[in-house]
């Protein structure tokens, strides 16, 4: 009898973009081609907490379905086409011993990417990459502190980000830089954020704005000033009122993965994931989604962010970035924020201000793995990299 709880964790493979393109080139419509390609594309899962009888049933039944099944004392890895994996994920057709496994595999299967993100200013279409331009109004940001201090400076920088391709602006009044020693009082954060939001709304009435805050009081005031969404780096762990505030405004809400207190989240102080960082991040993001639902949030208003640069070592950040496609099992659009982060510095040897090319490359790779929103400092470089990445995936050969 296994003492480990039953857990199913998706493992990354690569999308079948080439097959979909070949079918489109021969007359298939885009939707049908993508569906067919997704069914043939490979999928893999790690299943833990299995006793001997379940393992034996999985090997037998999985073999009948044409799946590859590798086993250990209380675990298995299964792999095969998504259509065959889907046949396993039907509790009403599998042997009784496999019903719990089938249910958990079904929950871990990747969902169809949502076509839009609902915000307080209307839906944001996600068929194309959305660059989210960072607009910090803090004196101590790790990358660009104290350079957008006045409303005029805020508007000037917002204009540049929008001209460079940003489809949304993320305004933040409290730095989450490593080694900070205290939180910004709510009144001080309000004095930074609200005038910035008001200035941008006045200058660019059609611009979508998210407010980067962990405080419900700040989120409420920013939404009243014209912001469309809230970006909570604590994943609703810090202020239990946040979901209610966002729900009441009909706002979009980004649930980011992090661990520990607000002063710890940008460090690796809580980076022990027991050898299963992807599975742990998925479970903890689900907990954030549950908190959002308990606060009245509609699922269509949620976006998830795996928290690159937060509560993870450089190596863990790189691994999570490479495995992004598995987060599609959460069924919500995926936002990533690799901009100028330390793990890119480790990979390139570049200092903070020299990491925009690496950021753009990371975003292009993230698009391929399923991300749809990209929070960055340099909108232009990222826009161009994403344009190329999208062209690779959407190209249609003549023959």
What is the rounded average pLDDT of the residues 282-310? Answer: 97
pLDDT bracket for residue 12 (50, 70, 90): confident
pLDDT for the residue 399: 42
pTM summary value: 0.90
pLDDT for the residue 18: 52
pLDDT at 387 over 90: yes
pLDDT at 22 over 70: no
pLDDT bracket for residue 147 (50, 70, 90): low
pLDDT bracket for residue 112 (50, 70, 90): confident
Mean pLDDT of the chain: 90
pLDDT at 305 over 70: yes
pLDDT for the residue 396: 55
pLDDT bracket for residue 28 (50, 70, 90): confident
pLDDT at 35 over 80: no
3-state secondary structure the chain: CCCCCCEEEEECCCCCHHHHHHHHHCCCCHHHHHHHHHHHCEEEEEEECCCHHHHHHHHHHHHHHCCEEEECCCEEEEEEEHHHHHHHCCCCCCCHHHHHHHHHHHHHCCCCCCCEEEECCEEEECCCCEEEEEEECCCCCCCCCCCCCCHHHHHHHHHHHHHCCEEEEEEECCCCCCCCCCCCCHHHHHHHHHHHHHHHHHHCCCCCEEEECCCHHHHHHHHHHCCCEEEECCCCCCCCCHHHHHHHHCCEEEEECCCCCCCCCCCCCCCCCCCCHHHHHHHHHHHHHHHHHHCCCCHHHEEEECCCCCCCCHHHHHHHHHCHHHHHHHCCCEEECCCCCHHHHHHHCCCHHHCHHHHHHHHHHHHHCCCCEEEECCHHHHHHHHHHHHHHHHCCCCC
pLDDT at 98 over 80: yes
375 tagged catalytic: yes
pLDDT at 146 over 60: no
CB atoms near residue 381 (< 10 Å): 20
What is the rounded average pLDDT of the residues 20-24? Answer: 61
What is the rounded average pLDDT of the residues 201-229? Answer: 98
Residues 221-270: tens digit of each pLDDT: 999 999 999 999 999 999 999 999 999 999 999 999 999 999 999 999 99
pLDDT for the residue 43: 85
pLDDT at 138 over 60: yes
Which position among 259, 291, 332, 375 bears the catalytic label?
375
What is the rounded average pLDDT of the residues 116-130? Answer: 97
pLDDT for the residue 39: 60
pLDDT at 20 over 90: no
What the chain holds in terms of domains, given with CATH numbers, is 7-108 (no CATH), 116-394 (3.20.20.20)
What is the rounded average pLDDT of the residues 374-390? Answer: 97
pLDDT bracket for residue 395 (50, 70, 90): low
Percent of the chain with pLDDT over 90: 77
Higher pLDDT: 198 or 21? It is 198
Which position among 121, 215, 332, 341 bears the catalytic label?
341
Residues 154-178: tens digit of each pLDDT: 999 999 999 999 999 999 999 887 7
């Amino acid at each position: 009898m296994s003492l480990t709880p039953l857990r199913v964790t998706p493992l990354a493979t690569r999308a079948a973009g080439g097959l979909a393109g070949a079918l489109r080139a021969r007359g298939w419509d885009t939707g049908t081609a993508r569906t067919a390609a997704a069914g043939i594309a490979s999928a893999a899962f790690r299943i833990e907490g299995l006793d001997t009888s379940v393992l034996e049933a999985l090997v037998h039944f999985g073999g009948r379905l044409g799946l590859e099944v590798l086993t250990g004392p209380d675990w298995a890895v299964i792999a095969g086409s998504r259509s065959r994996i889907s046949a396993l994920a039907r509790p009403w057709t599998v042997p009784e011993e496999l019903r719990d496994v089938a249910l958990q595999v079904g929950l871990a299967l990747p969902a169809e990417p949502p076509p839009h993100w609902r915000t307080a200013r209307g839906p944001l279409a996600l068929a194309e990459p959305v660059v989210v331009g960072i607009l910090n109004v803090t004196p101590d940001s790790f990358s660009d502190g104290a350079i957008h201090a006045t409303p005029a400076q805020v508007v000037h920088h917002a204009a540049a980000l929008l001209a460079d391709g940003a489809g949304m602006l993320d305004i933040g009044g409290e730095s989450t830089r490593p080694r900070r020693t205290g939180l910004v009082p709510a009144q001080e954060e309000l004095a930074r954020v609200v005038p910035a939001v008001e200035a941008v709304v006045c200058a660019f009435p059609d611009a979508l704005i998210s407010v980067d805050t962990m405080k419900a009081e700040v989120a409420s005031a920013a939404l009243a000033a014209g912001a469309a969404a809230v970006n909570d780096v604590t994943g609703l762990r810090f202020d239990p009122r946040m979901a209610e505030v966002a729900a009441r405004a009909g706002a979009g809400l980004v649930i980011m993965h992090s661990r520990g207190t607000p002063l710890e989240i940008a460090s690796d102080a809580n980076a022990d994931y027991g050898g299963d960082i992807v599975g742990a991040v998925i479970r903890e993001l689900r907990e954030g989604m549950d908190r959002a639902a308990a606060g009245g949030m509609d699922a269509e208003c949620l976006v998830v962010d795996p928290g690159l640069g937060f509560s993870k070592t450089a190596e863990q950040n790189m691994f999570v970035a490479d495995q992004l496609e598995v987060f599609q099992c959460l069924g919500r659009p995926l936002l990533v924020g690799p901009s100028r982060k330390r793990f890119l510095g480790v990979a390139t040897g570049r200092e903070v201000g020299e990491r925009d090319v690496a950021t753009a490359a990371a975003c292009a790779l993230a698009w391929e793995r399923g991300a749809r929103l990209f929070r960055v400092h340099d909108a232009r470089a990222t826009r161009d990299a994403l344009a190329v990445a999208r062209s690779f995936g959407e190209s249609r050969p003549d023959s």
